[in-house]
């Protein structure tokens, strides 16, 4: 489901590396849905891995965006913060309630919907914008 492909490449190694790691963490999370040993600890570990990867990926993007104009960077960084907050709040709400495998699966499905509906599409949709920034580095200097 969450696989790295050339359409996700931005042309910026630090950003692409962070995004690959994030997609790997998301794929690892997806793999636990059918695990017969699914429990609160496993879900917490995998959601924590996604958060750690998300934070690293967004940090790399934010560092790059700080070299661009304010109008390019600030709204995008605010979007990153909103994704992280939404994800953390959802996990804090769902993971502690897991007492059995069925609850674990339900929590995972809801978290998966959040990841697929928001985070994955964010990564996919903004790849073109980063490619454009790489092709037009002079615009960053003109706006700065």
Tell me whether residue 23 is in a domain.
yes
d(CA 101, CA 85): 26
Q: What CATH number has the domain bearing residue 133?
A: 1.20.120
Query: Tens digit of pLDDT for each residue in 74-109?
Result: 787 888 899 999 999 999 999 999 999 999 999 999
Query: Tens digit of pLDDT for each residue in 2-58?
Result: 777 888 889 889 999 999 999 999 999 988 988 999 999 999 999 999 999 999 999
Tell me whether residue 5 is in a domain.
no
Domain boundaries, position 92: 13-143
Report pTM.
0.86
Closest C-alpha among 32, 23, 35, 39 to residue 124: 23
Tell me whether residue 66 is in a domain.
yes
Tell me whether residue 104 is in a domain.
yes
Residue-level pLDDT at 72: 63
Percentages helix, strand, coil for the chain (3-state, rounded to 5) are 85, 0, 15
Tell me whether residue 7 is in a domain.
no
Tell me whether residue 8 is in a domain.
no
Overall number of domains in the chain: 1
């Amino acid at each position: 489901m969450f696989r790295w492909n050339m359409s996700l490449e931005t042309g910026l190694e630090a950003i692409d590396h962070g995004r690959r790691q994030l997609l790997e963490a998301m794929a690892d999370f997806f793999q636990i849905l059918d695990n017969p040993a699914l429990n609160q600890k496993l879900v917490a570990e995998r959601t924590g891995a996604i958060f750690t990867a998300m934070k690293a990926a967004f940090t790399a993007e934010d560092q790059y965006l700080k070299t661009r104009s304010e109008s390019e960077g600030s709204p995008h960084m605010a979007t990153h913060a909103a994704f992280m907050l939404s994800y953390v709040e959802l996990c804090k709400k769902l993971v502690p309630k897991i007492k059995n495998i069925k609850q674990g699966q339900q929590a995972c499905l809801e978290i998966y919907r959040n990841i697929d509906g928001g985070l994955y599409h964010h990564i996919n949709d903004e790849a073109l914008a980063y490619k454009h920034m790489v092709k037009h580095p002079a615009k960053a200097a003109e706006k700065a």
